[in-house]
């Protein structure tokens, strides 16, 4: 199906917000899991998928780096959402009436100062938008939700307090996934390349593999490792670098990397988001 973008979560989730901000003309399709959001694209029910990969406060999204290489999809873009957390309640509620605030456990941990100041107890919900939906359905003014303003609009809730998060630079990075790659033309602007690789089982393999990026002046913005198949010996690395694979310097760095790896896969080449240039 064309003009549909899938995301994990309920309507009003921050992933939904990412879809609306980046693709306002597309229909957003909510899915219960990351796997089902990917499946919607592979089965033709969606054209793209929006997947969160990391948060500036809490680090990488659990299991997402395991999922990315297995999807068969390609990264064609990135988007950054400033995670503003809002206290939402049924219409007519006053802040003093709220005794509990419901949200995903991660979001609750980002609002400790606000909750303590107002004597509001945290209450764990399945997710942010789902908590807003439950608060709207229950109609109890003593229980509010912590979620996006978009969730408040969707479920008819009042915003009692805006931007109550403890860390005011809290941002989540999303990747846009598509069935076929869409490499930008060489020289068309700032470009990101994302890849995964496994190093050969030889001494100092990772050190030697990384040397090609240093000697060729290629900026590596991210490097993370994670185990494969439950083995302490099988490690895969995820990397984000600046530059296009056809850039001579990047090309040389990747050739050197390939020499020291047993597996190497480019997950996507895509335009660098403007957010990176502003921070």
Question: Catalytic site residues?
Answer: 172, 174
Q: Which three-class secondary structure state does DSSP give residue 256? A: helix
The 10 Å CB-count burial string (b at 16+, else e) for 210-226 is bebbeebebeeeeeeee
Token digits of residue 84? 């503003």
| Angstrom distance (rounded) from CA 1 to CA 199 | 39
Q: How far apart are the C-alpha atoms of 184 and 19, rounded to whole Å?
A: 21
Residue 79 DSSP symbol: E
H-state helical runs in 43-202 = 64-67, 105-108, 112-117, 128-138, 149-155
- Tell me phi and psi for residue 260, to 5 degrees: -100, 10
């Amino acid at each position: 199906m064309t003009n549909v973008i899938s995301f994990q979560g309920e309507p009003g989730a921050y992933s939904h917000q990412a879809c609306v901000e980046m693709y306002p003309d597309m229909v957003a399709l909510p899915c219960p899991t990351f796997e089902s959001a990917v499946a919607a694209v592979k089965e033709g029910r969606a054209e793209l998928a929006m997947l969160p990969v990391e948060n500036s406060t809490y680090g990488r999204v659990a299991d997402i780096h395991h999922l990315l290489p297995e999807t068969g999809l390609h990264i064609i873009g990135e988007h950054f959402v400033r995670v503003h957390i809002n206290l939402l309640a049924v219409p007519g509620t006053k802040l003093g009436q709220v005794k509990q605030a419901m949200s995903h456990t991660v979001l609750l941990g980002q609002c400790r100062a606000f909750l303590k100041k107002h004597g509001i107890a945290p209450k764990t919900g399945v997710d942010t938008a789902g908590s807003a939906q439950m608060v709207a359905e229950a109609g109890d003014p003593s229980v509010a939700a912590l979620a996006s303003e978009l969730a408040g609009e969707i479920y008819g809730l009042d915003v009692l307090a805006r931007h109550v998060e403890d860390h005011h630079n809290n941002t989540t990075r999303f990747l846009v996934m598509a069935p076929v790659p869409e490499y930008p033309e060489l020289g068309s602007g700032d470009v990101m390349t994302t890849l995964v690789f496994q190093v050969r089982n030889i001494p100092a393999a990772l050190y030697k593999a990384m040397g090609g990026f240093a000697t060729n002046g290629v900026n590596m913005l991210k490097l993370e490792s994670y185990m494969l198949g439950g083995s302490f010996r099988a490690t895969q690395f995820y990397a984000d670098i600046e530059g296009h694979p056809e850039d001579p310097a990047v090309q040389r760095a990747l050739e050197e990397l390939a020499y020291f790896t047993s597996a190497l896969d480019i997950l996507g080449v895509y335009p660098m988001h403007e957010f990176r240039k502003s921070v």
